Each structure stands twice: as C-alpha cells, then as structure tokens.
Amino acid sequence: MVEKKGFFITFEGPEGAGKSSQVERLASYLRNKGYECLLTREPGGTSLAEKLRQVVKSHRGPEKVHPETELLLMEAARAQHVRELILPALSAGKTVICDRFFDSTTAYQGGARNLDRSTIDELNMFAAAGRKPDLTFLMDLPPEEGFRRIASRKSEGFDRFENEKIDFHRNVRKAFLELAQAEPERIKIVDAAMDIESISEFIRKSVDESLF
C-alpha cells in the first residue's frame, strides 16, 4: 500500500455524459495504484439520502415540487451523505469518487431554476461541512447529444430532470461552464464527446498531475 491521503474527486455534467463509466474506470486505475476508493453518488449514497433521491427525482402528481423544496431536498441528502459517508472515508485515508456534488446544485437549482446564488453557495458549504472537492471533472456535452444517448438506453422510470425542456439543460450546461471558468484549478473540463478511452486517459493524467 502507498502512503495514503484521502482525496475527494467529483464528476459533474449533464444527463448522458458518461459520468458513471468514468467513475468506475478511475476507481480501477487508482485501486491498481494501491489507493482505497469509495464510489458514491448524489443525491444519494446512504440509505436516507437514497430515499430523498427517489423523492426529488421521481415525484409526480398534482402537487408540484417547488424549486426551493428541491434545493433543500438536495442539501438535506448532501448533509447526511457528507457526515455519514464522505468525511469518515476521507478521514480513514480513502479516496472518495462522487458522481455529482454541490456544483450540480449551483448548475441545476441556480443556473436552471434561477434560485439565488448566494443562498445556494451558503447552503452548499453548510451541507458539505465546508469540504470542497479537491478535483472535479466536468464532463461537457451539448444537451441534444446527452438526450440522444439517454434515449438509446433502458429507461429507469419517470425522471423530473430528464423531463425538463432542452432550454433548462442548456442553462445547466452554461452554469457548469461558468463554474469551471471561475475555478480552473479545481474544475477540469472534459470533452465528453471523445471516445471513452481518450476520456479515461485525460482523467488519469489530470489526477496524476493534480493530486499525486
């Protein structure tokens, strides 16, 4: 085993960008190097947070989910996930790889739902107990291409976000790119239209350069 420090790596991007495959590939790469990895996702990652995920992604019916409620459900899931799983794993020296984290809140609830940015920043830090990711990969893809990919895979049932109009997803993408521009050290933009192996190679190189 190599000398260990717990790194916190997150993946962000639109639906259909191929985040989950890259999470798996990066974990294999790091495990081969002797790093213990914890793979997780948001919203979710713990039993309670997965229940909140189900509600916030799949709720339907006459009573709509207000943007403010959506924001607080995301942050509630995060507060639980960070304290129950992420912080203990980092303290134990594990590398945590998380499929989405608080940049998704800034992009979706801020950029697309238009909620106040300073409220979001404050809630993000509150829920994350002040722990920012060490490195974030933004898998960037035009929403049209993301939807084309989603359409060709098996549906997991009704999804409130996938059901939003294309303009919503354009706003999400714009907000993600603005975040990456503002924090180029932490957030690396990945061209998710590249083939899967080239993407993995780019990610491995960035991780080696940035963290080790």
Q: Name which of 72 and 87 has its Cβ closer to ligand TMP.
A: 72
Closest CB 108 distance from ligand TMP, rounded Å:
3
Closest CB 62 distance from ligand TMP, rounded Å:
22
Q: Name which of 55 and 87 has its Cβ closer to ligand TMP.
A: 55
**Bridge partners (DSSP) listed for residue 12:** 138
Per the CB < 8 A criterion, the answer to whether 101 and 179 are in contact is no
Per the CB < 8 A criterion, the answer to whether 24 and 199 are in contact is no
Per the CB < 8 A criterion, the answer to whether 7 and 135 are in contact is yes
Residue 1 and residue 178: Cα distance in Å, rounded? 38
Q: Name which of 95 and 109 has its Cβ closer to ligand TMP.
A: 109
Closest CB 100 distance from ligand TMP, rounded Å:
4
Q: Name which of 103 and 134 has its Cβ closer to ligand TMP.
A: 103
Residues that bind ligand TMP (CB under 6 A): 15, 41-43, 57, 74, 100, 104-105, 108-109, 161
- The amino acid at 151: A
Closest CB 199 distance from ligand TMP, rounded Å:
17
Q: Name which of 61 and 157 has its Cβ closer to ligand TMP.
A: 157
Closest CB 41 distance from ligand TMP, rounded Å:
6
Residue 129 and residue 210: Cα distance in Å, rounded? 23
161 CB-contact burial (10 Å; exposed 0-12 / middle 13-18 / buried 19+): middle
